[in-house]
Amino acid sequence: MQLDDRKVKILQAIIDDFIFSAEPVGSRTLAKKYNLGISSATIRNEMADLEEMGYLDQPHTSAGRVPSDKAYRLYVDKLMKVRNAQNLDAEYFKKFFKTRLSQVEQVIYHTAKILSEITKYTSMVVAPQLKSTVIKHIQLVHVDRQLALLVIATSSGILKDTLIAIPEDIDSDSLHKISIILNDLYAGKTFDDIDLEDLKEFQKTIFRSGALFDSLMDALAQSLKQKEEKEIYLEGATNILHLPEYQDLVKAKTFLNLLEEKDLLYTMLTSTEVDGVSVSIGRENPFAELRDYSIVSATYRIGDKVLGSIGIIGPTRMEYSKTVSTMDFMAKALSQYLTSLYGK
Amino acid sequence: MQLDDRKVKILQAIIDDFIFSAEPVGSRTLAKKYNLGISSATIRNEMADLEEMGYLDQPHTSAGRVPSDKAYRLYVDKLMKVRNAQNLDAEYFKKFFKTRLSQVEQVIYHTAKILSEITKYTSMVVAPQLKSTVIKHIQLVHVDRQLALLVIATSSGILKDTLIAIPEDIDSDSLHKISIILNDLYAGKTFDDIDLEDLKEFQKTIFRSGALFDSLMDALAQSLKQKEEKEIYLEGATNILHLPEYQDLVKAKTFLNLLEEKDLLYTMLTSTEVDGVSVSIGRENPFAELRDYSIVSATYRIGDKVLGSIGIIGPTRMEYSKTVSTMDFMAKALSQYLTSLYGK
DNA sequence: GTTAGCACTCACCGGCATAGAGTGCTAACA
DNA sequence: TGTTAGCACTCTATGCCGGTGAGTGCTAAC
């Protein structure tokens, strides 16, 4: 069977209507509401065809039709007009740029917040990954008698700092010396490349003082090799409770439980490193748990380097047009902002 | 009317049963389940008395009785036996102390997490407030050609660091000099005491270079005077969805919406600076929005200085005994831990 | 003072009929 | 040959009804 013009028009109308109303769409409603120039009976015939072709589902015999994942895919790829996000929700973006945030984590967090507020879905943001970034500079700063701050600057501009305990009898000069050594050893390497054996070797041959430096080295080692958790921020988790499909408590709970599976979401979000916005609809998702949801995601960068991803998750009945354009804009805005702060 | 021994015993049984089952308790059930040595008819008479005295409510005529806020208050003050938290959930605490967390924020966050996991309610943690802490030490650290890290150590041991943009032609020595000046100006003062005019004055008289330092000073001023948000962490927001009273979607939503009111919760949590654990039940709460919930809270400290508060929020039908003892233990453990890290 | 007994109340549940939205099919029409 | 009006049919949602059971208050006897 052919997906001719008229079928597409009808399908589009059904999708539009369903995205708006969340109610199965009937032929009569369609004929009345949209000026298609054909009767409900004709629409019925076409709808039967569309169902046969896999674009529509029927919850039960005497209900209207509902778009399938395949229909949404067609919609996202061909039918929808991506709006210009800059004009929409301008106030949010203004707010975003007004607040001057210097720490990368804050910017990321802020982005997640705004994304969830604009889209009304749940936003997910993967924080910058350090393991493959190059260390540019390491410095130990004396903070207190027993505390020092280990500051590691990376080539992507991200700063990682950790407070570490130090023996009381180390002075600033010693810390400075150690900083130089650390730089010699690790500057230019990635976090993954760090070999702590180097450090131990070094400690043995150079610092005769032995036990004195032990605790310091331990702390350093721990900080440098600290297992990086799969960090993912979620915002607006309860947004979906306002959507009609989650008025069913069981469905709402299922969704909220899904959000606890940070690992899954993390994997999902980091597995697509496509350029631009990527949309994964229902059963297209690689994970069974996600088959009732759609995920819209994009990567953000500093310069050319991909740092992490942002995304939103919601029902397959999603406002794709608005969501995709928002995502597109936010990813670009975020990249631009981070690049202006830390790039080069 | 007198609240004699038998009435108390019956009340206790009702509260225990209701906390466990969430179902209104009837006289027959009570007589059967608890060995009170009296018949259901007698219990009925006593229950009528207890209702008259304000300790019991009746959802409708043909239902059992439910404890009132007044009953819970009596229960918390007199009846319940506070269990020893150390024995309960020992594995959590072990986990808590095993993970070595050096940043205060991390410790706080971790505490919230664990609290919500143990109590199965929603935990709230107010992060340490800086405004009234004394600045011990300020330091500017050169990180990059255009970036420096402003590190401020406070007397409570909390470290605040902010990345700031600096003109390219400032070298480490200059930063060091400025650090000394900053220390002279602000060490020993609280964040509230900071007067930026001092800094501007200083800049005019000492640094003739003018425009060169402008951006630096601006950044500094901004960092130092940065509006401190009312930071409150929430964890386990969706825990309550497992409780029978929130199977009603409207109630669940009301609760989740309440959690969005961070300001309210913040005020609630910071207003009680009592020593030890404080319990606020239903209508005792100063805010109307909270009249259906109970809040158990405590403060945490470094040494003698109160830093912030931790608390949990849940239905008035709460496992007070477990919750109070957990809270007591956590507050003490947290204080002890922070003091050992940063105290003195 | 305690308790057995009883009439009464009220939420809850399953069954049933009805309304309404929507469908597929047929036959007539342009 | 495609389109449409009409109609019988399907299925869900809603509301009504009566029975059931848990629980109560009251009374009278112990």
Q: What is the largest CA-CA distance in chain A?
A: 93
Judgement on whether residues A50 and A69 belong to the same structural domain of the protein: yes
* Between residues B57 and A158, the one the model is more confident about: B57
A75 and A106 assigned to the same domain:
no
A60 CA → C18 C1’, Å: 20
Whether residue A249 lies inside any domain: the answer is yes
Residues of B in contact with A144 (CB under 8 A): 136-137, 153, 157
Positions of chain D reached by protein Cβ under 7 A:
3-6, 9-12, 21-27
Q: pLDDT: is A204 or A166 the higher one?
A: A166
**Between A and B, how many residue pairs show a Cβ–Cβ distance under 8 A?**
85
In eight-state DSSP terms, residue B190 is B
The position carrying tokens 């109630």 is: B251
Nucleotide in closest CA–C1' contact with A60? D11
The token duo for B241 is 């969805």
Contact A180/B at CB under 8 A: no
Instruction: Classify residue A237: in a domain, yes or no.
Output: yes
**Is A151's CB within 8 Å of B141's CB?**
yes
Nearest DNA or RNA nucleotide to B24 (CA to C1'): D23
- Do the Cβ atoms of A108 and B124 come closer than 8 Å? no
B149 contacts A143? CB cut-off 8 A: no
Give the side-chain half-sphere CA count within 13 A for B181.
Answer: 17
Cα–Cα distance between A26 and A47 in angstroms, integer?
A: 9
Closest CA to A169 of A211, A111, A117: A211
What Rg do the C-alpha atoms of chain B give, in angstroms? 27
Residues 6+ apart with CB under 8 A from B21: none
Distance CA B149, CA B142 (A): 7
Which string of b and e fits A6-15 if b means at least 16 CB within 10 Å?
ebebbbbbbb
Contact: B161, A149; criterion CB under 8 Å: yes
Q: Which of B163, B247, B259 is the closest to A103 by Cβ? A: B163
For residue B138, give the chain A residue with the closest CA. Answer: A143
CB proximity A256 to B under 8 Å:
yes
- Shared-domain flag, residues B59 and B194: no
A330 and A234 share one domain:
yes
Q: What is the Cα–Cα distance from A305 to B298, expressed in whole angstroms? A: 45
Nucleotide nearest to B41 (CA to C1'): C3
Tokens found for residue B312: 């949990």
Q: Does residue B74 have a pLDDT over 70?
A: yes
A194: exposed, middle or buried (Cβ count in 10 Å: 0-12, 13-18, 19+): middle
Q: What confidence score (pLDDT) does residue A344 get?
A: 57
Q: What is the mean pLDDT of residues A237-255?
A: 90
Contact across the interface for B143 and A144, Cβ inside 8 Å? no
CATH of the domain at B60: 1.10.10.10
Q: Which residue would you say has higher pLDDT here, A202 or A36?
A: A36
3-state secondary structure of A22: coil
Q: Which of A164, A192, A225 is the last residue of a domain?
A: A225
Is residue B334 domain-shared with residue B252, that is, in the same domain? Answer: yes
The partner residue sitting opposite B151, judged by closest CB among A141, A238, A256, is A141
CA distance A194 to A190: 7
Q: What is the pLDDT of residue A198?
A: 72
Nearest neighbour of B153 by CB, restricted to A103, A143, A341: A143
Please compute the mean of the pLDDT values over residues A172-182 and round it to a whole number.
82
3-state secondary structure string across A302-321: ECCEEEEEEEEEEECCCCHH
In a domain, B265, yes or no: yes
* Chain A residues 11-40, Cβ below 7 A from strand C: 23-29, 40
User: CATH number, domain at A150?
Assistant: 3.30.390.60
Of A102, A247, A260, the CB nearest to B163: A102
Structure tokens at B28: 């027959």
A221 touches strand C (CB under 7 A): no
Q: Is A344 helix (H, G, I), strand (E, B) or coil?
A: coil
Q: Return the axis-axis angle of helices B90-98 and B104-119, rounded to nearest 10°.
A: 170
pLDDT of A227 strictly over 60: no
User: What is the per-residue pLDDT for B209?
Assistant: 53
User: So what's the pLDDT on residue A94?
Assistant: 57
For chain B, the 3-state helix, strand and coil shares in percent, each to the nearest 5, are: 50, 20, 30
Please say if the pLDDT value at position A274 is more than 90.
Answer: no
Secondary structure (3-state) at B233: strand
Q: Which of residues A170, A191, A225 is at a domain's end?
A: A225
- For residue B335, pLDDT over 80 is answered with yes
Q: Do B102 and A164 touch (CB under 8 A)?
A: yes
| Strand C contact with B172 (CB < 7 A) | no
Q: A133 vs A158, A182, B205, CA distance in Å?
A: 9, 17, 43
Between residue 79 and residue 118 of chain B, the positions with Cβ below 7 Å from nucleic chain C are: none
Q: Quick check: is B143 in a domain?
A: yes
Output the CA torsion A253→A259→A263→A268 (10° steps).
Answer: 110
pLDDT of residue B189: 86
Confidence at residue B82, expressed as pLDDT on a 0 to 100 scale? 79
Q: How far is CA B112 from CA B5, B107, B252, B330, B334, in A?
A: 39, 9, 21, 10, 11
- Whole-angstrom Cα distance, residue A123 to residue A330? 12
State pLDDT tens for residues B102-135: 567 777 888 899 999 999 999 999 988 777 778 8
Determine, yes or no, domain membership for B85. no
Domain annotation covers residue B84: no
- For chain A, how far is it from start to end, CA to CA, in angstroms? 55
For CA atoms A11, A15, A16, A18, give the dihedral sign. Answer: positive
Q: Which domain holds residue B285?
A: 90-128+230-342
- Output the pLDDT for position B75: 97
Spanning CA of A323 to C1' of D2, the rounded length in angstroms is 40
Contact of A295 with A312, CB cutoff 8 Å: yes
- Same domain for A254 and A298? yes
Poorest-pLDDT segment among A92-101, A192-201, B276-285, B296-305: A92-101
Does the structure show a pLDDT above 80 at A341?
Answer: no
Q: Could you tell me if A323 and A247 lie in one domain? A: yes
Q: Are residues A249 and A200 in the same domain?
A: no
pLDDT for residue B215: 59
* Measured CA B62 to C1' D20 distance, in angstroms: 14
Query: Which has the higher per-residue pLDDT, A239 or A190?
Result: A239
A317 and A253 together in one domain: yes
pLDDT (tens digit per residue) in B188-229: 888 777 776 776 776 666 554 554 566 566 666 666 665 556
- d(C-alpha B146, C-alpha A341), whole Å: 9
Q: Please indicate whether, in this complex, the C-beta atoms of B256 and A247 are within 8 angstroms of each other.
A: no
pLDDT at position B96:
57
Across the interface, do B153 and A144 touch by the CB < 8 Å criterion? yes
Contacts of A229 by beta carbon, 8 Å cutoff, 6+ apart: none
Distance CA A61, CA A52 (A): 14
Q: What is the C-alpha separation between A309 and A295, in angstroms, rounded?
A: 12
- Residue A280 belongs to what H/E stretch? strand A278-281
Please classify residue A78 by burial: count the beta carbons closer than 10 Å to its beta carbon, then call 0-12 exposed, 13-18 middle and 19+ buried.
exposed
Q: How confident is the model at residue A129, as a pLDDT?
A: 76
The answer, for B151 touching chain A at a CB cutoff of 8 Å, is: yes
Using CB atoms, which residue from B103, B241, B342 is nearest to A253?
B241
Tell whether the torsion through CA atoms of B259, B260, B262 and B264 is positive or negative.
negative
Residue B158 lies in a domain: yes
Nearest residue of chain B to residue A222 (CA atoms): B100
Structural domains of chain B, count: 3
Same domain, A324 and A279: yes
Give the pLDDT band (50/70/90) at residue B152: confident
> What angle, rounded to 10 degrees, do the helices at A40-52 and A5-21 form?
90
Of A134-138, A158-162, A227-231, B153-157, the one with minimum mean pLDDT is: A227-231
A159 in reach of chain B (CB within 8 A): yes
Q: Is B13 left (phi over 0), alpha (psi -120 to 50) or beta?
A: alpha
- Which whole number is the average pLDDT over A312-341? 91
Chain A interface, best mutation among B135, B139, B161, B220, by max A CB count within 10 A: B161
The answer on B338 and B234 residing in a single domain is: yes
Q: Is the pLDDT of residue A159 over 80?
A: no
Instruction: Give me the residue from B102, B147, B249 closest to A163, CB to CB.
Output: B102
B273 lies in the same domain as B319: yes
Residue A175 or residue A290, greater confidence: A290
| Contacts of residue A84, Cβ cutoff 8 Å, sequence gap at least 6 | A325
Choose one of A225, A248, A276: the last residue of a domain: A225
**CA A40 / C1′ D7 distance in Å:** 15
CATH number (domain holding residue A307): 3.30.450.40
Closest A-chain CA to B152:
A143
Contact flag, residue B42 CB and nucleic strand C, below 7 A: yes
The Cα A143–Cα A256 span in angstroms is 42
> What DSSP letter does each residue of B20-73 carry, written as one string?
HH-SPBPHHHHHHHS--SS-HHHHHHHHHHHHHTTSEE-SSTTS-BEE-HHHHH
Whether B136 has its CB under 8 Å from any CB of chain A: the answer is yes
Instruction: In whole angstroms, give the CA distance from residue A85 to residue A329.
Output: 6
Distance CA B130, CA B136 (A): 12
State which residue has its Cα closest to the C1' atom of D9: A62
Which of B228, B235, B238 has the highest number of chain A CBs within 10 A, making it the mutation to test binding with A? B238
Is the residue at A63 inside a domain? Answer: yes
- With an 8 Å Cβ cutoff, is A139 touching chain B? yes
